[in-house]
Amino acid sequence: SEDARARARGGANIEEDPERGPVAAPSSTESLIERGGAGREPETTGGQVLGALKAVAGFNNLVAPNVASKMGTDDGAKGNAAKGAKPPLRINKASMENDEVVDGRQAEFWPTLLRALKLAKIYYYGDQKVRARVLLSVMLVLCALTTGLMVVFSYVQRDMMTALSDKNQPAFYDAINRYIIIIVIAAPLFALYNYVQNLVELEWRLWLTRLLVKKYFSKHAYFALKAEGTMDNPDQRICEDARNYVQSCNGLLLAVAQKLLSMGAFFGVLWSISPTLLVFCFGYSLFGTIVTTRLFGSKLMGLHFQALRREADLRFGLVRAREHAESIALYGGAKREAAAARGFLAIVAAVLLRKIAWSRNLALFTNAYEFATFALPSLIIAPRYFAGEVEFGVVTQAGMAFRTVQGALNIIIGRFEQLSGLAAETERLERLFELLDGLDGTASSTSQKMSKADEVMREMNEIRAGRAGTIARSVVDASGGDELALEKLAVFTPLSGRELWRDLSLTLQAGDALLVVGPSGCGKSSLLRAVAGVWTTGSGAIAAPAAEDSVFLPQAPYMPLGTLRAQLVFPASVSDEEGNFDEDDEGETLLPRMRGDFDDAELYAALDAAGLGDLPERFKAEGGLDATMEWSDVLSAGEQQRIAFARLFLRKPRCAFLDEATSALDERNEAAMYERIRGTCAAVVSVGHRSTLLKYHTLALRFEPGVVNGGGGGTWTLMRTEEYQKSLARSPSGSMFNVF
């Protein structure tokens, strides 16, 4: 976040990224990493101009009165402007994926189903294995009981049909009495069976989702996935794909168990009636399975995967439009966004049409295949009935037994669409596990044969950058007075491996305040990313304070869902003020009231120090500190930046790192924040453009344009701020900005 432009002046929120050139301002993902931030427009005049623009454009009437009255000086303007406009999407044949490609790999039906079972082993051999296996055993026992009940029912039905054929009234009513007994037993048994099945699915899904969430938010994995751009929609994979996988896998497991039990029960029945019919049943099922998997397997699996991906893209586009509604309205970009949504919808439709067409072809085969089973048993057993060798009820029982055994053998055919979906969901989840396990240095049983993501990323970066490795990190020893030490530090961009700068060595001691200055795109923010551990590609060493002793404030603030109290204690988690995620947090609920280690007096004091002492009173009717609002909409950009400073004042870190953290504040509020932070922290590192920042710092790290490895870049010069101010005075205009 290098080049702040006021949204109030109508400019887009653009920065010069050292990796990709001019791009949109930092997303909330990077704000999450660095824990804080702020918006763009100055808090006083910018807010007033934006309010006037909204009034002229007619957007103020879209704000609810009870919220508009509490929006602060700039009427609730958000800190993030709309991204740069892109042309409406147009579908062309070349842009569509191969129907048989899943996550860049050829779709393989049977191997993927085997991997689905291996993925299930993670749950049944994990930390909840005892409870999981007990519930699974209960479910399978109930499955066996229901299957046995159906076998008994087949005999009762046989006796009923035979009694009707023989006009034997006593035998008929005896069969009816047995049928009523079966109903009395079956009703609670099947209800309990369905309950346990749903309970197994729920607990399995919760466990799997918690595991994925833990991995996703461990060691900046969520940031690495976004930076690499190698995976689409991880949020959908964690939520929907995990749910669908569990439902499909559990349903398939039950279906297989039930079919095997049914086949075992009716195998003897069918053999006792006609061995020929049993042999024919096996041959017929084998024929149907081979035809179905060969003709439709990879195709439907790939199309199901594409449908999941394209639906997620459409939903993501609509969510982004909602998040940036005000900016889109001010730009008049509704038509462009509508066209983009229609483009995504057209892609979804194209995929679904192909999927429907192939489902139609599958249905054409399976319908003919299934309907034939109603006639085939009768054709085979009818000669024996006409010869008087078997009773009429045996013909009915033979048909039921044949269809049961054949249905067990034809589970692939009968559930082929569900299996295709399971295969696609398995591929997506396995790919997510593969990358997340690679990023945190572990390997699951599902991905041990695949390269770890971090090794692949490191090799790619080394190839691109020539000699880039991993920056060595350690915790600084504060007893010697040092707060931050960099030794021959070189930083490379994660994607292209371009060297931003090299051989940077400096040491900050208690009382030092460093201002990093330079033009947009030179890598100022990259220094903070490297210190924070977000960017690790490079060389040299960093000795920085421990995580609990440092706070990073990026330019764009992150306002989590929840109460005002939750905004202040962030990044502490809901269940633990240290922010640790524990798989054992079984009692965790969404958005509870957060109390934690900070009492109300401390929270009020932090708000007062940040100049926001009126916030609890402003939202008193909604609960004060416990008011739950969409804070990124309700608070102005300047107020959001000051919330970030309030978080810092609560934590009282040894070292603070600020990435244009006062860009939305006027000079008076900026002065108040820096004066307070200098009294709170032993050392401060700031990235900024304003000349007013110089007075709050003792050192300046200035970018010197030049050449690095023949690819552009430059070097950095460390000097006292007094010396830097003299260099500004010697510049043609004396402007801090013109020096750049």
| pLDDT in the model for residue 740 | 39
- Asked whether residue 425 is assigned to any structural domain, the reply reads yes
| pLDDT in the model for residue 439 | 60
- Measured distance CA(218)–CA(507) in Å, rounded: 29
- Asked whether residue 314 is assigned to any structural domain, the reply reads yes
Q: What backbone torsions phi and psi does residue 477 show, to the nearest 5 degrees?
A: -90, 105
Task: Give me the residues of the chain with pLDDT under 50, please.
Answer: 1-30, 32-50, 52-107, 441-466, 574-596, 708-712, 734-740
pTM metric for this prediction: 0.60
Q: What's CA 664's distance to the chain center, in Å?
A: 30
- Measured distance CA(157)–CA(175) in Å, rounded: 8
- Measured distance CA(97)–CA(306) in Å, rounded: 8
Region of 268 please: left (phi>0), alpha (psi -120 to 50) or beta. alpha
Please give, one letter per residue, the 3-state secondary structure of 362-405: HHHHHHHHHHHHHHHHHHHHHHHHHCCCCCHHHHHHHHHHHHHH
Region of 604 please: left (phi>0), alpha (psi -120 to 50) or beta. alpha
Q: What backbone torsions phi and psi does residue 390 show, to the nearest 5 degrees?
A: -135, 160
* Listed residue (404, 519, 425) closest to 157, CA to CA: 404
- Measured distance CA(16)–CA(524) in Å, rounded: 11
Q: What is the CATH number of the domain that holds 373?
A: 1.20.1560.10
The helix (H) or strand (E) run that includes residue 563 is: strand 562-563
**Segments forming the whole domain that contains residue 411:** 102-450
* Listed residue (320, 315, 448, 440) closest to 24, CA to CA: 320
Task: State the Cα torsion 473-475-479-482 to the nearest 10°.
Answer: 50
* Listed residue (442, 441, 428) closest to 234, CA to CA: 428
Residue 510: Cβ within 10 Å count: 13
Helices (H), 498-563: 524-532
- Measured distance CA(701)–CA(209) in Å, rounded: 45
Burial of 388 (0-12, 13-18, 19+ CB in 10 A): exposed
At 93, the amino acid letter reads K
The pair of three-digit structure tokens given for residue 292, joined into one six-digit string: 């179905």
* Listed residue (71, 74, 73, 6) closest to 40, CA to CA: 6
Place of tokens 């930390």: 127
* Bridge partners for 720 per DSSP: 699
Residues 38 and 79 sit within 8 Å (Cβ to Cβ): yes
> Which residues touch 253 (CB under 8 Å, ≥6 apart)?
120
- Measured distance CA(46)–CA(42) in Å, rounded: 5
- Asked whether residue 68 is assigned to any structural domain, the reply reads no
| pLDDT in the model for residue 199 | 93
* Listed residue (450, 26, 489, 33) closest to 221, CA to CA: 33
- Measured distance CA(197)–CA(602) in Å, rounded: 48
Residues 273 and 401 sit within 8 Å (Cβ to Cβ): yes
Residues 138 and 144 sit within 8 Å (Cβ to Cβ): no
- Asked whether residue 520 is assigned to any structural domain, the reply reads no
- Asked whether residue 600 is assigned to any structural domain, the reply reads no
Domain count, the chain: 1
Q: What backbone torsions phi and psi does residue 473 show, to the nearest 5 degrees?
A: -125, 145
Please give, one letter per residue, the 3-state secondary structure of 151-162: HHHHHHHHHHHH
- Asked whether residue 96 is assigned to any structural domain, the reply reads no
Residues 66 and 618 sit within 8 Å (Cβ to Cβ): no
